Structure 1
Amino acid sequence: MAQNSETYNNFRIAVPTEYKNVFSHFYFAENQSNETITKTLLPSYQTILIFNFGTKALLNSEQNTQIEIDKCIILGTIRKAFDYLLPPQSKILVANFENDAFYRFFGNVSLAKNLPINPDELLNENCFTSLWYELNKIDNVDSQVNYILEFCKPYLQPRDKIAEQLINFTEQSLNPIKAIASDNNQTARNIQIKQKQYFGYSAKEINRYQRFLKAIKYIENIASKASKEDWFSIINDCGYYDQSQLINDFKYYLNLSPTKYLKFQQDICSPVN
């Protein structure tokens, strides 16, 4: 658990092994101070389910408007960073769906990018509102997570065989879309459609994001070692064509330049307190 202050707590919660293909983790945060705390949610290419307890938390949308989180919302595949605000006495619990788990829960529904929606609207019933009321009676966060895991069992559908193949594809020398299409006697276009249907993003999108993640890890490693940045090494090792492409990715995902992100990392990694 990471504790930022005496009045603000936030930490990740691991899930049992049998749920690793459903949720990557849960995240909990609470603000017991007298001031609103603003945090940035970095892109994850995951769909998330947010439960709000206490004072309503707020999301800053891409259109620069604030959206209140009432009891629970679904937020579609997180492609870009955005800010969220935790007013005094607010508390959130976030479930992060892994791979195709959102599709296995809700089926072939369409979510607008970064646009919150009440999950009950996807199922045409009030089961998530009912779940919120049950969770609100539970004081312990770990017990809340266990309740959610049990709740999800009857809703979770078996994984499609194409989704299974896409998740487990490891042959780096081959194009996964073309290889899986050939193995299943389907067109590459059909596999592309299934990829977007099951995961919420295309193979091209996730490849770009994974390249960006590699650059992020590279920069964080530089910051942790207090080393001087070598942008040409980052460009070459992470698969970028040039510095312009690297900068474009950082601005697309974070609205920051790589230099500004590095400065941010150096600041938070500083031992001065």
Structure 2
Amino acid sequence: MKVHRHIPTYPLSDFIQHIVYVSGSLSTPYIKELPEGGINLVIELNENTLNTVYPEINTDCKKEVKNAWISGMQKQAILYKNNPNSTIISIRFTVGGFFSLTKIPITVLDNAGVEAEAVFGSSFMRLYEKLLNATALADRFALIENYFLQYSVEENMGYHIVRFINQHIDKPIDWLIQKSGYSQKHVIHLLKTYTGFSPKYLQRVHRLQQVITEIQKNKTHIDWFSIIHRYGYFDQAHLIKDFAYFTGLKPMEYLRSQLVLDENELVPEMILQFPNDNPDAK
């Protein structure tokens, strides 16, 4: 598997966290995308390839997607069937960055696997054709940046507040509201408008990402007791329950996924599932 990560130049970097190119087959049949609080635009570069997404944890529901689709509004991890014929570019927006840049209401992204053309219109399909015709990866990254630079890249006050809250999301909610200079009702409204989520949910997602980073950095010598207390869990049961809610896995199951497959290190927000994890068999 080949993975290339590209960080957009300023000012687009204020709205897009990174652009990742992934090609090559994996031995695992399923890939899980973890929630991060930001929108993810996935572009399939093999035009006739269908991809299967399972929008919810532990469900029989599945959806076929092709060309390009959007995820990120789901509150839990989503599952993809690993397609050996797939070559993708994944565009991860910052928390609140998608709405601030495009002004497209978050409410239209209420399901995983929303077709990008339905969201962006015909201009996106013109971009898609250019991406298919481009041969150099650098040219593809440049095409994507130029496409999103057509939108206004000036920060507004609402996004400034959302960015401030996200940068300090580990602080108490009362502190965040006081520092914002706005009422609690207005802050919650801003977060819902820009991210689709409440401050409490964003705090839980941030804590999940901190735990995931901790596991990735200390795979062979994890101090679970330290993690529980450092990140504000009541006890081991609280950690397990919260982790499983978002990922569908217990922390030890996630750790095993990291130890078994080196490829997990390449795209941290993804989990490569074990071969015997088959949602179609449920």
What TM bracket, shorter-length normalisation?
0.7 to 0.9
Superposed structure 1 runs of 4+ greater than 4 Å apart? 169-174
The answer (yes or no) to whether the contact 2:162–2:194 under 8 Å persists in 1 is no
Alignment of 1:1-273 (within 5 A): 8-31=1-24, 37-54=29-46, 55-62=49-56, 63-103=59-99, 104-123=101-120, 125-156=121-152, 158-169=154-165, 172=171, 175-180=175-180, 183=181, 186-223=182-219, 226-227=220-221, 229-268=222-261
Deviations 1:99-134 (A, max 9, x none): 2221121433404554221233235x3111121112
The superposition leaves residues 126-171 of structure 1 with CA deviations (integer Å, 9 ceiling, x where unpaired) of 1111211121110122211111111112223533213203313567
Residue segments in structure 1 that go unaligned for 5+ positions in a row:
1-7
Distance 2:129 2:28 in 1: 25
The one-letter amino acid paired with 1:42 is L
Higher RCO (CA 8 Å, separation ≥ 6 residues)? 2
Distance 2:164 2:106 in 1: 24
Q: Distance in 2 between matches of 1:221 and 1:48?
A: 24
Percent identity over the alignment is: 21
CA–CA separation in structure 2 for the residues paired with 1:262 and 1:76: 23
TM-score, normalised by the number of residues in structure 2: 0.79
SS of corresponding position for 2:226 = helix
**Per the alignment, in what secondary structure is the counterpart of residue 236 of structure 1?**
helix
Cα 1:61/1:248, change in 2 over 3 Å:
same
Equivalent AA in structure 2 for residue 110 of structure 1: T
- Could you tell me how far apart the structure 2 residues matched to 1:90 and 1:14 are? 22
Aligned in 2, Cα 1:32/1:262: closer, same or farther, shift over 3 Å?
closer
Measure the CA separation in 1 of the matches of 2:227 and 2:203.
Answer: 17
- Higher Cα radius of gyration: 1
Q: Deviations over 1:32-71 (max 9, x none)?
A: 68x8853222222211111112122322221433322222
TM-score (ref. length: structure 1): 0.82
CA distance in 2, matches of 1:158, 1:59: 34
**8 Å contact from structure 2 (residues 54, 61) kept in 1:** yes
Contact 1:59 1:85 in 2 (8 A): yes
Helix, strand or coil at the partner of 1:110: helix
Question: Matched residues in 2 for 1:70 and 1:267: separation?
Answer: 30
Report the Cα distance in structure 2 between the residues aligned to 1:57 and 1:13, rounded to whole angstroms: 23
